[in-house]
Amino acid sequence: MTFETLLHQYRSVYYSFPQPLKTFLGSVYGNLPLSWRFGSNYAIHQKVLERFETADEQFQLDFQYNKTLETLLFAQEHIPYYEERFRVHGVSATQYKSLDDIALFPLLTKQDIRKNIDAMVSNVFEKPVAYYSGGSLSTPTKYFLPSSSRAKEKAYNNYIFSKIGYRYRDKTLLLKGREISIPEKNIYWEREPIDNYLLLSNNYMNSDKFPLMYQKALEFQPKFLFGYPSAVLSFMKQSKLYGVSDMNIKGVILASETVYPDELEAISSFFGVDILTHYGHTERNAIAYRINTDGYHFCNSYGLNRVVDGELITTTFDNFVMPFINYKTTDSVVDRIEYYKQSDIAKYVGNIEGRTQDFLVTDDGRLVSITTMCGGQYLPLESMDAIQYIQKDFGKVTVLVEGTQVDVAKVKEGMHQLVRDGIDFKVKQVDNIEKTSRGKRVMCKQSLDIEAIRKSGADVVQEGMRICCPE
């Protein structure tokens, strides 16, 4: 077990340390070589990635074929779910003779994983590590990944971020991730010295605390800004609202939410620097990046990326714990697609649309991104089949939870841990959450005018005032 794996397992203990102790320990640890922290896998994946990205197309095709075959053989031999699924579909790993043959194998959905997870995990080669994802379709899902996947993820992210000049541990303002505010102490930021981040509270971004948060950011003197598109947009609008000066950053990194062309243009115009949009997911099957308005470039040594009927279908490489084969990501590929010759394997795509920018509104008019509400650390996701948020009034949210053994009190407690204050959650267990005509669940039914609230800031909330969209 590497030091990074151990630290990740006990990260909640580390987060609970007083800031001075956390700063000292984190700075010491953060300055250690990545190959020491993450083990030999970091250097291995770094070399594989660099070799692949500079190789010709035939090398890349051969690499992807061999990695896919490796995954199929492992799954058939060590994963009971795949052994049975392949048998039922009349296919075998030995039938995989070319990249096109992956289409012979059955598709894998999130629902398949939820129903069969006990039969999908192996500890033959590595210890499984549990991860949770709220998902873009409101369906909480648990996954198991090898501990070495963190080394791989770090190697690829550092490579991708370097495309706009980022070097690991450059000072970065972070507008994503866990909620770190301590309202009773008037603290809405947290220093994270391991990666050299300063986290700002997204839940207080459009509040009267913003000038205080902005001052902390200026004192930190970040080189880069890294966040959810929705959080970056809120940061921009609050900066304009309060008339504060632009920070002299070198680049912006966006992740975890769909970003639309007009938003990308607005961010680029405001900061006047290169914008890198990162695509990835908890399952760690696919990774891609876009610089400014160019299309997404897939790092195809990371996993196999196919586009089938406009949906991204992925197969994992290097996952010898819980491999994903022909996995339906539910993310849509739009605009142009550049394939490898005579295949459905994508090199570049114009745009990827996944998790949307949905918000809840607190009683004092602050916006809380739905993306931050997917925390497995606080919510009993294993008992939750689906979830939906419904809001009609400031500070009041009804949460519908689909599942047979849901602890409603625990769900409500987890919601308050994620938001901290400002929302009264009413949690209801239901037999079924209604789907759209296209078979999708809506994660958030919001009746408040989010754009008006974001443009106006917290001042939009007045006694008895309600800004609504039509029912």
pLDDT at residue 98 is higher than 80: yes
For 129-165, the pLDDT digits (tens) are 888 775 444 566 789 999 899 999 999 999 999 999 9
Strand ranges of the sheet holding 396-402, from the earlier edge strand across to the other edge: 424-430, 396-402, 386-393, 444-446
| pLDDT category of residue 267 using cuts at 50, 70 and 90 | very high
Question: Stretch 101-122: mean pLDDT, rounded?
Answer: 94
pLDDT at residue 469 is higher than 50: no
Which DSSP letter does residue 31 get?
T
Question: Stretch 176-190: mean pLDDT, rounded?
Answer: 90
Domains in the chain with CATH codes: 359-460 (3.30.300)
Position 436 scores a pLDDT of 59
Neighbours of 449 (CB within 10 A): 16
Position 137 scores a pLDDT of 42
Task: List, as one string, the DSSP characters of 311-375.
Answer: EEEEEESS-SSS--SSEEEEEEEEEEEEESTTSSBEEEEEEEE-S---EEE-TTS-EEEGGGG--
Written as six digits, the tokens of 469 are 């969209």
Position 424 scores a pLDDT of 94
Question: Stretch 242-251: mean pLDDT, rounded?
Answer: 88
Position 432 scores a pLDDT of 83
Which of 39-53, 109-123, 216-230, 455-469 is the least confident region? 455-469
Would residue 98 be called left, alpha or beta, if left means φ above 0 and alpha means ψ between -120 and 50 degrees?
Answer: beta
Which of 228-237, 369-378, 380-389 is the least confident region? 369-378
Contacts 24+ apart (CB under 8 A), 210-215: 210/238, 210/241, 210/242, 210/457, 211/242, 211/244, 212/186, 212/188, 213/188, 213/189, 214/238, 214/239, 214/242, 214/244
Question: Stretch 91-107: mean pLDDT, rounded?
Answer: 96
Q: How many CA atoms lie within 13 A of 392 on its CB side?
A: 4
C-alpha 301/C-alpha 285 separation (Å) is 10
| pLDDT category of residue 323 using cuts at 50, 70 and 90 | very high
For 20-57, the pLDDT digits (tens) are 898 898 899 999 999 899 999 999 999 999 999 999 99
Question: Stretch 58-83: mean pLDDT, rounded?
Answer: 97
Contact 276, 251 (CB under 8 A): yes
Position 104 scores a pLDDT of 96
Position 364 scores a pLDDT of 87
Kindly report the pTM of this predicted structure.
0.80
Percent of the chain, pLDDT > 70? 91
pLDDT at residue 459 is higher than 60: no
